[in-house]
């Protein structure tokens, strides 16, 4: 008999939900986490009374009622709705592209006028089948919006020319002929009152967690403590990089505390011109309608990933996907290890996707429906 039923590597959303559900079923879990805190990338830290989203802005949204009901047991959510502002030089535009954006760009008032303006711009371009992001963007919103609100932002974000990027990246950006500037289409949306970390504290209240422990530093010791392992770290590292290293895009966050109550009047302002080196500024207090005397802002820079950087966005191009498929085949042969979460599945997942994935994994594993 081993001391634990499950060793869980990573105290992020996937690992924490698995641990919570296994514990509820009478199993004994140990979580090890290499960072000095729980919560993974959802972690929020209290600075000057403000919950700062340490690994980038996290807005919860879903249309899945089961997922929404599930997360409610750990927190109450406020009514925050994501409506970012785009700043191009000193012009401000409403995002996602909607009638407010078109009115500011061209002075048009009705949906019909806006559609005519965009059609007129598209007609000049002669694009039949878009083959890259630039062509896709122009055929959606015309050249002017592309030049001012898309080109600079996208090239900073991906570190490559829009003509060299795949068209699908821009397809998920909504274009609306209404005055609705809610960024998401989902039924449910909000920020947990008190920040995300409190959710994890509640989930892990009765579970043993060891922080500052890297699985790979003491792998054998920890594996031998438990009957089974749930691994939420990088899958290529787990298998000793035998098929090569999976690639990511990384980010740098520069945080600043300012002695002013309200710096930019919105949680998210995107800087869409190429000349400004960061992609956006987050002002954290606005996620919770904060009235603190000071404010905390974060400038977000998109950077090329190198060893030691945080792996934020998987580069799901053909080469990397093929490499991942090889690791996945190996993972499927391990009958005592469950691989879950964004790093082990090498896929960009929003929080609601991770909750659905984790609950699905729990149901399959414990044989329920
Ligand atoms: P993680 O949160 O990364 O957790 C994995 C944990 O495992 C980490 O804590 C890591 O330190 C630990 N770990 C890894 N390797 C080891 C090891 N060897 N030993 C010990 N511990 C290890 N989702 C939304 O729904 N809305 C948003 O607005 C949103 N914004 C985002 C913005 C950014 C910039 C990013 C990067 C993501 C965003 N997400 C958002 C996605 C969200 O962060 C993820 O869905 C979620 O954090 C994934 O949870 P996870 O458990 O899979 O991974
Ligand atoms: N995008 C843009 N201008 C903006 C915001 C987004 O051109 O002001 C484009 C950009 O190409 C980006 C894509 O839309 O990669 C998706 O943006 P989103 O903000 O949804 O991506 P996220 O940052 O959440 O991954």
Tell whether the model's pLDDT for residue 93 goes beyond 70.
Answer: yes
- Known catalytic residue: 350? yes
Closest ligand to Cα 175:
2
Of all protein residues, the one whose alpha carbon is nearest to atom 20 of ligand 2 is 173
- Whole-number Å distance between alpha carbons of 174 and 27: 44
Tell whether the model's pLDDT for residue 236 goes beyond 90.
Answer: yes
For residue 168, what are the CA distances in angstroms to 61, 135, 185, 353?
Answer: 21, 11, 18, 19
Quickly list H helices, the chain: 13-24, 65-72, 99-106, 111-123, 133-145, 151-158, 168-171, 197-203, 219-223, 235-238, 318-332, 351-366
Residue 86 Cβ inside 6 Å of ligand 2? The answer reads yes
Interval between CA 158 and ligand 2 midpoint (Å): 10
Interval between CA 41 and ligand 1 midpoint (Å): 4
Q: Where residue 151 falls among pLDDT bands split at 50, 70, 90?
A: very high
Of all protein residues, the one whose alpha carbon is nearest to atom 10 of ligand 2 is 154
SS3 (DSSP) at 133: helix
Of all protein residues, the one whose alpha carbon is nearest to atom 2 of ligand 2 is 150
- Known catalytic residue: 176? yes
CA torsion through residues 56, 173, 199, 49, sign:
positive
CB 38 within 8 A of CB 232: no
Q: Where residue 369 falls among pLDDT bands split at 50, 70, 90?
A: low
- Whole-number Å distance between alpha carbons of 11 and 211: 9
* Closest among 331, 358, 319 to 235, alpha carbons compared: 331
Instruction: Work out which ligand 1 atom sits closest to the CA atom of 341.
Output: 52
Residue 23 Cβ inside 6 Å of ligand 2? The answer reads no
**Mean pLDDT, rounded, for 189-217:** 98
9-38, pLDDT tens digit by residue?
999 999 999 999 999 999 999 999 999 999
Instruction: Work out which ligand 2 atom sits closest to the CA atom of 137.
Output: 7
Give this prediction's pTM: 0.96
Residue 157 Cβ inside 6 Å of ligand 2? The answer reads yes
Of all protein residues, the one whose alpha carbon is nearest to atom 23 of ligand 1 is 350
Q: Could you tell which of 7, 8, 30, 41 is best to mutate to test the pocket of ligand 1, judged by most ligand atoms within 8 Å of the CB?
A: 41
Quickly list H helices, 124-190: 133-145, 151-158, 168-171
258-305, pLDDT tens digit by residue?
999 999 999 999 999 999 999 999 999 999 999 999 999 999 999 999
Kindly state the DSSP code that residue 97 receives in the 8-state scheme: B
Residue 190 Cβ inside 6 Å of ligand 1? The answer reads no
Higher pLDDT, 129 or 350: 350
Provide the percentage of residues in the chain whose pLDDT is more than 70. 100
- Whole-number Å distance between alpha carbons of 237 and 59: 29
Residue 189 Cβ inside 6 Å of ligand 1? The answer reads no
- Known catalytic residue: 25? no
31-89, pLDDT tens digit by residue?
999 999 999 999 999 999 999 999 999 999 999 999 999 999 999 999 999 999 999 99
297-348, pLDDT tens digit by residue?
999 999 999 988 999 999 988 999 999 999 999 999 999 999 999 999 999 9
pLDDT the model gives residue 169: 86
pLDDT the model gives residue 368: 73
Q: Which of 36, 76, 172, 307 is catalytic?
A: 172
pLDDT the model gives residue 166: 87
């Amino acid at each position: 008999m081993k001391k634990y039923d499950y060793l869980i590597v990573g105290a992020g959303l996937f690992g924490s939900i698995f641990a919570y559900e296994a514990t509820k079923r009478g199993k004994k879990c140990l979580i090890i986490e290499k960072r000095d805190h729980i919560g993974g990338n959802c972690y929020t830290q209290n600075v000057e009374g403000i919950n700062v989203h340490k690994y980038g802005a996290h807005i919860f949204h879903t249309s899945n009622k089961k997922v929404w009901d599930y997360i409610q047991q750990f927190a109450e959510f406020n009514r925050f709705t994501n409506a970012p502002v785009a700043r191009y030089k000193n012009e401000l535009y409403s995002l996602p592209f909607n009638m407010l954006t078109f009115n500011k760009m061209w002075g048009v008032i009705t949906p019909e006028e806006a559609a005519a303006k965009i059609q007129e711009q598209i007609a000049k371009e002669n694009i039949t089948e878009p083959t890259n992001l630039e062509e896709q963007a122009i055929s959606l919103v015309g050249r002017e919006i592309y030049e001012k609100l898309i080109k600079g932002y996208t090239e900073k974000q991906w570190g490559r020319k829009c003509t060299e990027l795949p068209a699908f990246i821009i397809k998920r950006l909504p274009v609306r002929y209404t005055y609705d500037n809610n960024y998401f289409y989902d039924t449910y949306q909000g920020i947990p009152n008190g920040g995300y970390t409190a959710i994890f504290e509640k989930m892990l209240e009765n579970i043993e967690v060891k922080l500052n422990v890297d699985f790979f530093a003491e792998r054998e010791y920890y594996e031998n403590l438990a009957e089974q392992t749930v691994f939420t770290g990088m899958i290529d590292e787990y298998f000793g990089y035998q098929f090569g290293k999976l690639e990511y895009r990384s980010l740098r966050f520069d945080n600043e505390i300012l002695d002013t109550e309200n710096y930019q009047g919105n949680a998210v302002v995107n800087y869409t011109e190429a000349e400004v080196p960061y992609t956006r500024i987050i002002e954290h207090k606005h996620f919770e309608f904060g009235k603190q005397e000071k404010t905390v802002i974060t400038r977000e820079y998109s950077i090329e990933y190198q060893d030691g950087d945080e792996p934020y966005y998987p580069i799901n191009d053909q080469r990397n996907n093929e490499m991942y498929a090889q690791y996945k085949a190996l993972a499927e042969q391990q009958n005592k290890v469950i691989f879950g979460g964004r790093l082990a599945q090498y896929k960009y997942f929003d929080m609601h996707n991770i909750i659905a994935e984790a609950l699905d994994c729990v149901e399959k594993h414990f044989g329920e429906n």
